[in-house]
Amino acid sequence: MKSVFFAAVIAAAIHTVEPSAVAAATTQIVPPPPVVMASSLRGSTRASENPIAVVDVTVEAGRGALWTGVLKIDNSGASYSESLRDAPEPCDDKAGNASASNFSAQRQFNLSIRRYNRNGAPDLFSVNARWTRPIPFCEGQGTRSVSLDQQVDLVPGRTVRLTGDGGLVVTITRRAN
């Protein structure tokens, strides 16, 4: 582009050239470079190759259901979290109740489901679930946690049941496309 500009300037200096010809020679429209999308390090494929996977999920722990719902999983995954902080359960003795007002009990639940694209397997998913609950205040202060982290083959129409420690159970049903 510089050579075109200098050629136009030299030509204008040597010969009488119309100013519009110099402007035309120096004003060029250059198209932008092409946009190239690099694939991620995990081997992700194009979105059109992996349609959104819709799954029905039930998570149970202890004596009941922690969460039941629907997740829509795209190439970046889907997740659900909840957290509750409240006053601890009172103790039977009056001395324990007085000190309990300085502490809180925390319950948390986190669920994450992501595509696990290994060798182009579109139905392989990574499931991570974590459940945290308080230790009864009269037994001490703190929390107990259980988690599971597992890869599953989940083709449309299939149900999988994952069982972790402490009664943690995650049931996932992938809806047919």
- In 3D space, the residue among 117, 123, 128 whose CA is nearest the CA of residue 162 turns out to be 128
What's the mean pLDDT when you consider all of the chain? 77
The pLDDT tens digits of the residues spanning 110-140 come to: 999 999 877 778 899 999 999 998 887 777 7
The pLDDT tens digits of the residues spanning 157-166 come to: 999 999 999 8
More reliable by pLDDT, 15 or 146: 146
The pLDDT tens digits of the residues spanning 39-52 come to: 444 444 454 567 89
Residue 81, SS3 per DSSP: strand
Kindly provide the residue ranges of all beta strands, DSSP E only, lying in the chain, ordered along the sequence: 53-61, 64-73, 78-86, 105-115, 124-134, 143-153, 159-163, 169-174
